[in-house]
Copies of this chain bind each other. A is one copy, B any other.
Amino acid sequence: MRQKDDNKSEAILKATIELLNEIGLSDISMSKIAKRSKVSQATIYVYFASKEELLGKLYVNVKEKMSRQLLYDLNDALSTRELCERFMRNSMRYMLDNKEDFLFLEQFLNSPLMDKLCLEDTSKMFTPLYQLVEKGKQRGEIKQLETMLLLTYLYFPVTNLVKAHFKGQSEANEENLQQIIQLSWDAIKA
């Protein structure tokens, strides 16, 4: 018998994410995905039980890849400040290098679909990050506040910078990066 072709599955996922960025969740359709990925519509259903499952799996896929890249090289040898910097740097790198993935996540996270597809919790992907911040708190280098709140200041400034960059309203360059690293550090440091 023929073997399942990973290329096909990936072509479908790739086409999906492309289209999601071009036309969005509101206008995407299985037929457009099929056309773009050059398989028959029916073939999509060989790999994914439904449109929802396709989107859900895409989300988990992308999120996993993202977490790997955001957490890259956050080793214990670094100081808390350096860890923060590296995380923000990783984040910007990721968002710039994976524009489509990043924008898809933003779109998906803000859609009610997200809740509808009771997806497995992805927060555990970021536990290393929590631990990092908590260690900083223990050392007294970071304010004694909820970890989630502190992380907000490490992640969303990057998000906004990169989005502004994509819209041509700002530039995601080293200079701006260093600025937000400084601002965020000023915000959370003890």
Contacts and interface: CB of A to CB of B under 8 A. Distances in A.
Interface of A: 20-28, 103, 106-107, 109-113, 116, 143, 145-146, 148-149, 152-153, 156-157, 159-161, 164, 169-170, 176, 179-180, 183-184, 186-189
Q: How many copies does the complex hold?
A: 4
Nearest to A146: B170
A28 B25 CA distance: 11
Given A111-B24, A111-B25, A161 B149 contact: yes
A170 B25 CA distance: 28
A189 B159 CA distance: 21
B157 A152 contact: yes
B107 A22 contact: no
Contact of A110 (B22, B110, B146): B110
Contact of A26 (B21, B113, B145, B183): B113
Given A24-B112, A24-B113, A156-B160, 19 more contacts: A25-B25, A25-B26, A25-B111, A106-B110, A107-B112, A109-B110, A110-B110, A148-B170, A149-B170, A149-B176, A149-B180, A149-B183, A152-B157, A152-B160, A153-B153, A183-B187, A184-B187, A186-B186, A186-B189
Contacts of A170: 146, 148-149
